[in-house]
Amino acid sequence: MSYTTIHQCATDEAFLARLRACAAQEGHPNPEYAASALLRWPVSSSSEIEEAYEYAIDNDVNWPGGNPTVITDAMILSVAQPILIASMTLPDI
């Protein structure tokens, strides 16, 4: 795992667009905010996603953040869904 790779993934516009789409499909009321403030770093730094992104970079795969054969939607969802659910759940009073 590399901080450089995590940063590359977290600033990859195609990857960020996929995070916005994930947040929208999961029903978050503000997908732009969810992608940039809630999901960007935790999803990018998850070991499975970081390793896939790093492998793609090391093997000269074009467009790694937007390539669903490098990082699948299921990989993104498995990290993003619990974060999104927690952000949309009201606390018990």
Q: What is the pLDDT of residues 21-76, one digit of tens each?
A: 999 999 999 999 999 999 999 999 999 999 999 999 999 999 999 999 999 999 99
Show Cβ contacts of residue 31 under 8 Å, excluding neighbours closer than 6 positions. 20, 21, 23, 24
Task: Domain ranges for the chain, please list them.
Answer: 3-88
Distance CA(69)–CA(1), nearest Å, equals 20
Give the residue carrying structure tokens 């992608």.
Answer: 35
Question: Binning pLDDT at 50, 70 and 90, where does residue 90 land?
Answer: confident
pTM above 0.85, yes or no: yes
What's the pLDDT tens digit per position in 2-33?
899 999 999 999 999 999 999 999 999 999 99
13 within 8 A of 40, measured Cβ to Cβ: no
Q: What is the pLDDT of residue 1?
A: 67
Q: What is the pLDDT of residue 85?
A: 95
Distance CA(1)–CA(81), nearest Å, equals 23
